Structure 1
Amino acid sequence: MTTDATLAGKPFTLHRFPLDQKNRSLQAWDSADEYLLDYVFEHHIDANRILIINDAFGALCCALADKHCTLVTDSFVSTLAYQHNLEVNELEHAQVEVLSSMDTYPEDIDLVVLKLPKNAGLLQSQLAKLSKLDADIPVIAAGKAKEIHTSTLKSFTHFLTEPTTSLAVKKSRLIFSKTSAKAIDSKFPVSWPLEKTDFVLSNEANVFSRDSLDIGARFFINYLPMGKKPLKVIDLGCGNGVIGLMTLAKMPNATVTFIDESAMAVHSAQQNISHNLPERVKDCRFIQNDCLTGFENEGADLILCNPPFHQANAITDHIAWQMFMQAKAALRHGGELRIIGNRHLEYDDKLKRLFGNCKTLGNNKKFTVLSATKRS
């Protein structure tokens, strides 16, 4: 993996997170980062209080470390990456304030730099917050040219001023706009009734399948545990918490820990338990974390998981592998990891190699539900 970056004419060492992922061809910055920083240092050198949104691994933060920066991220992994990369580049004393995606943006800023997220709803949510700031603060967004659509520019027009775009450089492009003090609310969170239940699910902008029950979860619900055993359950990669919610509904004595690396996901899960099963909140924990890092000695009885197979725009299985390995460490002897995955991903082979066993609980044309038991 390439870790030597040159950003705005300065050398940096930048690591992509998690550090031990197997795909070493992926790097911690891209041409959009380079283009954005070159423009900022050429045209906004006097900007001192900079709001940085969606800096995936800290490239922008490191290059702008001599400014007073406020970093906004929905990702726990991104937070770990920026902290690590600041330290590696001996910039740990930089003035960087970190805000969750659920926090209000600061008002005392003179420049906004934004990496376009993959999720259009998340972008709209972020632009809505920017629309409530004072007018005429420059906003510079960067992304791959092929991912900047007419709808992207319409979102800027709706919440900010009419945008303009740069020429494409290395297949990346910049969007230029300004805050307009329109103070427009976003449509998030969105809510909808959960089929075949009395529950209503609330979903923040960056929650997976935020507009309806995804087909994987719909199938997985048929294979959730039930009964009166007081199991310690972990909903790993919980999203809006629907799997943990249905587990609580089927298991009156269970406790459930909801874990996701997205702040919006954890917030949505907490809201959904509070709204739908308020009497069970005492049986729950809600944690933003990098998978199960730090949970090795928890002694979980059951871990439920629908693992992702991408990180931002990169298709990769390293997150699933991390989840499986850490799940084995977090389970008690005799504990179970129960997952759902696309059949073509062949998770059964991975679980057999790791656990020494795997059985199929159910499958259809697209998904398979698998169970592995910790025996040693």
Structure 2
Amino acid sequence: MNELLSIANQNLVLHRHPKNKKETLQAWDSADEYLINYFMDNHLEEKLEGEEQLLILNDGFGALSCFFNDIKRTTITDSYLSLSSIKLNMQRNRCIESHLLLQDSLQSFPENIKVVLIKIPKTNAYLEFLLQKLQGKISADTIVIAAGKVNMIHNSTLQLFEQYIGTTKTSLAKKKSRLIFSQVDAKKEVEEKDIAVTWEIEKQQWKIHNHANVFSRNHLDIGGRYLMDNLPEGDFSKVVDLGCGNGIVGMAALQQYTDAQVTFIDESYMAVDSARINTLKNFEEERSDNARFVVNNGLVGFKARSYDLILCNPPFHQQQTITDNIAWSMFNDAYFCLQDGGELVIVGNRHLDYQDKLTRIFGHCELVTENQKFVILRAIKES
């Protein structure tokens, strides 16, 4: 796996985070390279004057944030893992930290934006959210350039740039990536709308709020529903919804374990805020006071033997890449944080072989139930 990005007379050592000893994927892609080369070939740094700055949206692991080390810039992402990667890669490459402001996607965009570099996200909903916020902060002479893999750029992608920014065109493809150029139309007036969606879970009569970048934002995730319907029996007092998304599994735990404290954890700022909104909206204050909401890389940094039940619907991708690294990390962290006798209960697609992974970590694993698509697995930490 290549860790050295050599581009435009710079050499950067870049790691993905969390770092995997057997990592086979590099921390940048050809879309990062295309953006950097275009910026440098067209001397866009010369466009930045006075307090004007560069805005970077959706940087994956810090290739863009680290490369433009000498330029005053703000990087915005919804991913805690991306922010952590950027910070670590900045330190690794001895970048000037005072030149970079890191923000999550729910914070306000900066003023004085002159150049915008965007990595195309997986979903149009999140792209629309970013473009809507951007539209109110740019002027006619702002330069807006986006990049993504060819298979991620569709007519609907370009239509969003046309809707919020202005006339849009694309470049030729290089290394299976393409650039998008949008000319800012200062006269364009787009009515602001709430990109978030809300729908109801009839069984519980819950109204579920979903920010733009929340997994399964348009409907109830069937894996999450299966886990909600198969929570373990028991008298649990400290529960975790690990990788909580919009919070439905943790909310089911709040409802079933009436004396329990439930901690909702996700690496997406939008997911954790959606879980917070949903819990406050659907539970009485006395019960919602027993809920805690944390943006974090799983259970990293949490105390050993501190929980008696961890519920998890693990992701099998990181950004655009299918991987079991996140699930492995979650399972190992869960073992560390469970009390003796504590339980990890997960839902997963049948083909993902989580049973073998849990057996290797816990020494055993029980199949609780299954259907044609999912399995519910339970592993108990023995003393």
Shared fold by TM > 0.5?
A: yes
Give the superposition deviation at 1:183. Answer: 4.6
CA contact (8 A) 1:143 1:174 kept: yes
CA contact (8 A) 1:336 1:372 kept: yes
- Residue 73 (structure 1) aligned to one of 74, 77, 98: 77
Deviations 1:134-191 (A, max 9, x none): 3221110000112211111011111110211111111111000144453542442100
- Residue 167 (structure 2) aligned to one of 133, 138, 162: 162
Give the superposition deviation at 1:89. Answer: 0.7
In the alignment, which residue of structure 2 is the partner of 1:62?
66
Q: Distance in 2 between matches of 1:71 and 1:278?
A: 37
3-state DSSP of counterpart to 2:216: coil
Mapped pair 1:188 → 2:195: yes
Give the superposition deviation at 1:296. Answer: 3.5
In the alignment, which residue of structure 1 is the partner of 2:247?
241
CA contact (8 A) 1:36 1:174 kept: yes
User: TM-score of the superposition, structure 2-length normalised?
Assistant: 0.94
Deviations 1:212-262 (A, max 9, x none): 1011111111111456x3510000000000001111111211110000000
CA contact (8 A) 1:127 1:156 kept: yes
In the alignment, which residue of structure 2 is the partner of 1:144?
149
CA contact (8 A) 2:348 2:354 kept: yes
- Residue 214 (structure 1) aligned to one of 221, 224, 239: 221
CA contact (8 A) 2:69 2:96 kept: no
3-state DSSP of counterpart to 2:162: helix
CA contact (8 A) 1:304 1:338 kept: yes
Question: Which contiguous aligned blocks of 4+ residues in structure 1 show a shift greater than 3 angstroms?
Answer: 178-181
CA contact (8 A) 1:8 1:34 kept: no
CA 1:129–1:184 in structure 2 vs 1: closer, same or farther (change >3 Å)? Answer: farther
Give the superposition deviation at 1:93. Answer: 3.1
Specify the code of the residue in structure 1 equivalent to 2:93.
Answer: N
Count of matched residue pairs:
374
- Residue 90 (structure 1) aligned to one of 91, 94, 101: 94
In the alignment, which residue of structure 1 is the partner of 2:112?
108
CA 1:184–1:36 in structure 2 vs 1: closer, same or farther (change >3 Å)? Answer: farther
3-state DSSP of counterpart to 1:360: strand
In the alignment, which residue of structure 2 is the partner of 1:254?
260
Q: Which moved more, 1:26-35 or 1:186-195?
A: 186-195
RMSD: 1.4
3-state DSSP of counterpart to 1:45: helix
Mapped pair 1:302 → 2:309: yes
3-state DSSP of counterpart to 2:45: coil
CA 1:82–1:250 in structure 2 vs 1: closer, same or farther (change >3 Å)? Answer: same
In the alignment, which residue of structure 2 is the partner of 1:40?
39
3-state DSSP of counterpart to 1:340: strand
CA contact (8 A) 1:339 1:371 kept: yes
Specify the code of the residue in structure 2 equivalent to 1:366.
Answer: K
In the alignment, which residue of structure 1 is the partner of 2:339?
332
Specify the code of the residue in structure 2 equivalent to 1:41.
Answer: M
Q: Distance in 1 between matches of 2:314 and 2:336?
A: 17
Deviations 1:64-120 (A, max 9, x none): 111111010100111111111111111143411111111111121111100001122
Gaps of 5+ in 1: none
CA 1:298–1:79 in structure 2 vs 1: closer, same or farther (change >3 Å)? Answer: farther
Q: Distance in 2 between matches of 1:179 and 1:193?
A: 38
Specify the code of the residue in structure 2 equivalent to 1:10.
Answer: Q
CA contact (8 A) 1:334 1:373 kept: yes
Specify the code of the residue in structure 1 equivalent to 2:333.
Answer: Q
CA contact (8 A) 2:264 2:292 kept: yes
In the alignment, which residue of structure 2 is the partner of 1:315?
322
CA contact (8 A) 2:236 2:309 kept: no
Give the superposition deviation at 1:315. Answer: 0.9
3-state DSSP of counterpart to 1:46: helix
In the alignment, which residue of structure 1 is the partner of 2:30?
31
CA contact (8 A) 1:50 1:69 kept: yes
User: TM-score of the superposition, structure 1-length normalised?
Assistant: 0.96
Q: Which moved more, 1:266-275 or 1:44-53?
A: 44-53
In the alignment, which residue of structure 2 is the partner of 1:374?
381
Gaps of 5+ in 2: none
CA 1:321–1:230 in structure 2 vs 1: closer, same or farther (change >3 Å)? Answer: closer
Give the superposition deviation at 1:21. Answer: 5.3
Q: Distance in 2 between matches of 1:291 and 1:200?
A: 26
